[in-house]
Structure 1
Amino acid sequence: MQGQSADPAARPRRTRRPGGHTVRLRHRPQPPPSLSHLPHPLCREEPAVPPVEADADTRTPTPSAVSGLLDRIGDWGPVATSAGVFRLVPVRIDRDLPLVGRWMNDPAVAAFWELSGPEPVTERHLRRKLADGRSIPFLGLLEGRPMSYWEVYRADLDPLARHYPARPHDTGIHLLIGGVGDRGRGLGGPLLRGVTELLLDRRSACARVVAEPDLRNIPSIATFLSAGFRLSAELALPTKRAALMVRDRVLSDVS
């Protein structure tokens, strides 16, 4: 009816005073409580990390659907490290974009990753990775807490292969320790060592893990060295001068 509120909860209720006068009581809807104080969904106590699903609107393939080139790393489960139990969980944009975007906008990170700006900048990057299959983005969970961002990729199928003598199934790693409170604590080395050894153990066709941090990023290079990598060469890549870091399979890596 014209002029009547469409929201029944907003319509006034009538009651009567003892003297017979009608009093109108108007219900005022309260705004929903803020959820900004809640932790990232993966920090909550849940029986299991929810499965990664495709975005229905864009039909973006799930990491599980495209990670055959990398032996379905997202299904491998946790690994024990000297820093604690660690696990790589495939990125899910609807859940993880605010967190990854916040990390990318840290000035110390933006200088090397070049993904700072509004969320769509990071979102486009993640969607490209999820749709490609040669490079899979992950959150790194230490004792169940998201604290790092990883990309594991087929270096032999990547443009990087044009700049060094790649071998079949070379596997590359990009690593970002996200929160400022987690940097400078020596976590990168043990986590990188654990993931590298897991890759070499589970990907039997892979004989080397490689990385190409910016030559200016001295802390990153030091982290790779502490995890058993060696500096193999300096590369002139289209966007940077990089240190080619290589971790070869050794006898102890063979299960």
Structure 2
Amino acid sequence: MSQTRAGWLLPTPFGRFELDQLRPLRDLTVLHAWMNDPEVAAFWDLAGPREVLDRHIAAVLSAAHSEPYLGRLDGEAMSYWEIYQADQDPLAEHYPARHGDVGIHLLIGPGGYRGRGIGSALIRAVADWALSRTASTRVVSEPDLRNQRSIRAFTNAGFEARGVLELPDKQAVLMVYDQTLVPWCGDSEQSRRAG
């Protein structure tokens, strides 16, 4: 993993994945199109006029505990990520949060990237990257219970389902990636943290 001028370059088996800080003036047009894709809209509730998305992004950018990113695979914008301090988020009221827990929200934008295993590889790469920036060893996510594709992607990335959460806007599955429970795989960052 290395830092580029625009963001972070993360190794994946699917190509060069760059995670760039979201730049609203540059990125919201493509993000708005993704939010209006019926497969995305079913779980993100941000479809409709651009103002709906603008309000959401403004809230994410103003929250001290959250960072929005655009993911590019081989230079093509293809995913949106929110990396946040889960223990400082309202989510922490609904599960046994640990100090330093990192949270992930994501969507895969273009349909051609969905259902091919790319999401799982990116989730794992981003989870490991997020943990490398903090003393935490745990990443959490809470996909909608109806979103079986997302739940499978998190499971295939090494997350465990830890129960159903009754959140104000959805029933969700608490997915937890605990790096202390992941078998050593030769990654120097992981072995450095464990030793």
Do the structures match in fold with TM over 0.5?
yes
**Runs of 4 or more off by more than 4 Å in structure 1?**
none
Check conservation: 2:102, 2:131, Cα contact below 8 A: no
1:195 and 1:248 mapped to 2: Cα distance? Answer: 14
1:80 and 1:114 mapped to 2: Cα distance? Answer: 31
Root-mean-square deviation (CA, aligned residues, Å) is: 1.5
Measure how far apart 1:85 and its partner are.
1.8
2:24 pairs, out of 93, 108, 111, with 93
Check conservation: 1:201, 1:254, Cα contact below 8 A: no
Any unmatched runs of 5+ in structure 1? 1-46, 50-73
Q: From the two aligned structures, give the one with the greater helix fraction.
A: 2
Q: Residue type matched to 2:127 in 1?
A: T
**Is 1:103 aligned to residue 31 of structure 2?**
no
1:202 and 1:238 mapped to 2: Cα distance? Answer: 30
2:163 and 2:18 mapped to 1: Cα distance? Answer: 30
Measure how far apart 1:100 and its partner are.
0.3
Any unmatched runs of 5+ in structure 2? 185-189
1:243 alignment counterpart: 173
Counting aligned pairs with the same residue, the percent is 51
Measure how far apart 1:200 and its partner are.
2.1
Per-residue deviation, residues 110-130 of structure 1 (Å, max 9, x unmatched):
111000011111111111111
Measure how far apart 1:48 and its partner are.
4.9
Q: From the two aligned structures, give the one with the greater strand fraction.
A: 2
Measure how far apart 1:202 and its partner are.
2.9
Q: Residue type matched to 1:239 in 2?
A: D
Q: Residue type matched to 1:228 in 2?
A: G
Structure index of larger Rg = 1
Aligned length: 182
Check conservation: 1:139, 1:148, Cα contact below 8 A: yes
Check conservation: 1:163, 1:235, Cα contact below 8 A: yes
Q: Residue type matched to 1:246 in 2?
A: V
2:147 alignment counterpart: 217
| TM-score (norm. length: structure 1) | 0.69
